[in-house]
């Protein structure tokens, strides 16, 4: 698989990473541990070197899974994890609020290092901006961890341009992670231009619209009660019916390119900038291989113009998050 560098940093990763959250959390019951370990190792064998996790996924169990699966191939991979939530130590609730106090960041780093079975975190993101803690203090805490050899690179997630600039002035930001896909293009307005100016890489999560852009979800699809999509406004039956137009667009291009809708959605992201590295998640080997196939799909200038003009005629329906969660993004 081709490699990409995240912005001006020296952090080189596979052009496509693997989002690991769904193996433990959020999209229904957790996957079988041994099957997930096999899938993670299969990803490495197929050239994926960039793996994304967080302490809140589980909570805690996803980092532990990643640690066991990747410890035999540690020198071949880049592991990103995140801090910023106040978590219930019993695991009964995923999170209790935000907490990016410097002392807490350092505690999270130590605990994550143990669960991940590593000596240094390759990329340490603030998961969500904490309005109670100045971003300069957050950047300073991560800078201390970098100086101590416990973290290599600093990242931010779902962050507004002015916050990125303030953090970057204290400790250079290697990557910003936010949702980005053909059905959520908000980062294009201000975030992507800021990253281009500052030389920061971009890591789109949910690049397949939480599965919707694969074409496998319809208005009649039902979700398990433990599946986060069951409470997301964009996944009501009415919204899914209205948003089918996006999938139809991808399907039309896919037929022309002898690819799948998912591969076109990922290829579109890869074509946007050389410093964009999507991290689609999956629990199935066939889907993993399908996603990897996107790196071989070449979209021409005509293809990109067709996608742009057609998507401009589509208004995506439904908020991406329930209101209380959306309030924590873009700060």
Q: Which residues pair with 97 in a beta bridge?
A: 86
Give the tokens for residue 200.
């920061």
- Catalytic residue (choose from 27, 57, 125, 205): 57
Q: Which residues pair with 184 in a beta bridge?
A: 181
State which H helix or E strand residue 82 sits in.
Answer: strand 78-83
Calpha distance 202→192 (Å, rounded): 8
Torsion sign over Cα 224, 261, 176, 283: positive
Return the ∠ at Cα 53 (arms to 51 and 55), rounded to 5°.
155
Closest CA to 18 of 255, 239, 203: 203
Calpha distance 306→300 (Å, rounded): 10
The β-bridge relationship of strands 97-98 and 3-5 is: unpaired
**Catalytic status, residue 57:** yes
In this structure, are residues 159 and 330 in contact, taking their beta carbons and an 8 Å threshold?
yes
Residue located via tokens 């799948």: 260
| 222 CB neighbour count, 10 Å cutoff | 7
Q: Which residues pair with 78 in a beta bridge?
A: 50
In this structure, are residues 164 and 198 in contact, taking their beta carbons and an 8 Å threshold?
yes
Closest CA to 42 of 294, 287, 296, 260: 287
Catalytically active residues are 57
């Amino acid at each position: 698989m081709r490699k990409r560098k995240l912005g001006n940093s020296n952090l080189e990763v596979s052009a496509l990473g693997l989002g690991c959250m769904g193996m433990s959390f959020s999209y229904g019951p957790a996957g079988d541990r041994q099957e997930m370990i096999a899938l993670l190792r299969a990803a490495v064998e197929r050239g994926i070197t960039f793996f994304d996790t967080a302490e809140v996924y589980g909570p805690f169990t996803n980092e532990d899974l990643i640690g066991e699966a990747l410890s035999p191939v540690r020198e071949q991979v880049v592991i990103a994890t995140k801090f910023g939530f106040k978590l219930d130590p019993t695991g009964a609730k995923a999170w209790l609020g935000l907490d990016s106090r410097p002392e807490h960041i350092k505690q999270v780093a130590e605990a994550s290092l143990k669960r991940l079975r590593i000596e240094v975190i390759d990329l340490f993101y603030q998961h969500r901006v904490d309005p109670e803690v100045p971003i300069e203090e957050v950047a300073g805490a991560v800078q201390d961890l970098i100086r101590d050899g416990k973290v290599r690179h600093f990242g931010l997630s779902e962050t507004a341009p002015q916050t990125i600039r303030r953090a970057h002035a204290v400790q250079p930001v290697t990557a910003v992670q936010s949702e980005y896909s053909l059905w959520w293009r908000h980062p294009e307005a201000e975030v992507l231009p800021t990253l281009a100016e500052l030389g920061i890489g971009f890591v789109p999560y949910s690049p397949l619209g939480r599965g919707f852009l694969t074409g496998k979800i319809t208005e009649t699809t039902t979700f398990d009660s433990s599946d986060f999509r069951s409470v997301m406004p964009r996944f009501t039956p009415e919204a899914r019916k209205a948003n089918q137009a996006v999938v139809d667009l991808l399907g039309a291009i896919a037929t022309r390119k002898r690819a799948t809708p998912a591969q076109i959605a990922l290829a579109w992201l890869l074509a946007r900038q050389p410093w964009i590295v999507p991290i689609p998640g999956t629990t199935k080997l066939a889907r993993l291989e399908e996603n990897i196939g996107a790196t071989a799909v070449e979209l021409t200038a005509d293809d990109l113009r067709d996608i742009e003009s057609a998507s401009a005629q589509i208004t995506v329906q439904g908020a991406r998050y329930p209101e209380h969660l959306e309030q924590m993004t873009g700060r």
